[in-house]
C-alpha cells in the first residue's frame, strides 16, 4: 500500500499501509474538530483485514496534554502555551501483531471568550483603571459614553490586546473630567 496524506484545518493524519493490511486512515475534517476536554475516537478510522481483532492504540510521542486511550479515544486540555500546531505520533496494533504509526497534527486555537469587565479602580491621578478578560491574543477597543440610550455617543478611548492569560487592562485618563461615564469593550 502507499502513503496517503490529508491536510485538514483541525488536524492532519497520514496513513501508512503495512503488508499485513492494518491501516489508520485520514480523518475527514467534518468528523474531527478538536475541542478541549472532549473525547474523539480513532478506532473508526482504522481498516483491519481481521475485523474482529481488538485494536490497541498508544501515543508514541508528542506534547503531554493529549491522551490516547487504548481504545483510540483522544482527550486532553491544551494550555495557552500549546497554541499553534501540535504534532504527535500515534500507533495502533491488532491481535495478530500487525501495527501502524501515523503522525497526528492538531492546531490548537485560543478559546473564544466574550470580553467582560472584572474590576475598576480609581488611580491616584484620578484616572480610572479597568480590568477585563477576553480571548488570548485578541485585540479589543475600550469605548465610553456619558449617557445610555438612543442619544449615546460612543467614543473609542484605547485599544489593547489580551495577554497569554486573557487579561486586559485599560486606563481612562480623561475619567476625572466626566461626572459619569459608561464603558464597553469590543473586538475591532
Share of the chain above pLDDT 90, in %: 31
| Total domains present in the chain | 2
* Distance from C-alpha of 171 to C-alpha of 67, rounded to nearest angstrom: 42
Do 67 and 16 share a structural domain? yes
Same-domain status, 95 and 20: yes
**Which residues are paired to 140 by β-bridges?**
160
pLDDT band at 124 (very low <50, low <70, confident <90, very high): very high
Separation between Cα atoms, residue 187 and residue 110, nearest integer Å: 15
Per-residue model confidence (pLDDT) at position 40: 57
Shared domain for 18 and 71, answered yes or no, is yes
Where are the strands (E) in 6-134, listed by range?
Answer: 11-15, 23-24, 40-41, 46-47, 56-61, 66-68, 73-76, 84-93, 99-108, 116-122, 128-133
Given 65, 82, 108, the domain boundary residue is: 108
> Of 108, 142, 177, at which residue does a domain stop?
108
Q: Give residue 152's domain range.
A: 116-186
Which of these three, 51, 85, 108, is where a domain ends?
108
Q: What is the pLDDT of residues 19-77, one digit of tens each?
A: 233 333 343 333 334 444 445 567 776 777 777 888 888 999 998 888 888 988 887 77
Q: Are residues 97 and 75 in the same domain?
A: yes
Amino acid at each position: 500500500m502507499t502513503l496517503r496524506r490529508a491536510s485538514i484545518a483541525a488536524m492532519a493524519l497520514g496513513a501508512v499501509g503495512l503488508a499485513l493490511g492494518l491501516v489508520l486512515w485520514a480523518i475527514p475534517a467534518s468528523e474531527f474538530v478538536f475541542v478541549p476536554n472532549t473525547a474523539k475516537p480513532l478506532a473508526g478510522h482504522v481498516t483491519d483485514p481481521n475485523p474482529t481483532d481488538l485494536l490497541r492504540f498508544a501515543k508514541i510521542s508528542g506534547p503531554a496534554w493529549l491522551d490516547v486511550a487504548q481504545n483510540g479515544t483522544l482527550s486532553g486540555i491544551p494550555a495557552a502555551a500549546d497554541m499553534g500546531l501540535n504534532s504527535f505520533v500515534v500507533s495502533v496494533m491488532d491481535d495478530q501483531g500487525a501495527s501502524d504509526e501515523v503522525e497526528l497534527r492538531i492546531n490548537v486555537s485560543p478559546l473564544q471568550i466574550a470580553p467582560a469587565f472584572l474590576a475598576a479602580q480609581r488611580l491616584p491621578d484620578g484616572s480610572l483603571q479597568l480590568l477585563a478578560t477576553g480571548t488570548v491574543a485578541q485585540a479589543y477597543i475600550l469605548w465610553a459614553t456619558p449617557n445610555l440610550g438612543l442619544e449615546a455617543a460612543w467614543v473609542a478611548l484605547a485599544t489593547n490586546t489580551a495577554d497569554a492569560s486573557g487579561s486586559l487592562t485599560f486606563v481612562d485618563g480623561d475619567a476625572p473630567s466626566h461626572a459619569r461615564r459608561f464603558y464597553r469593550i469590543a473586538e475591532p
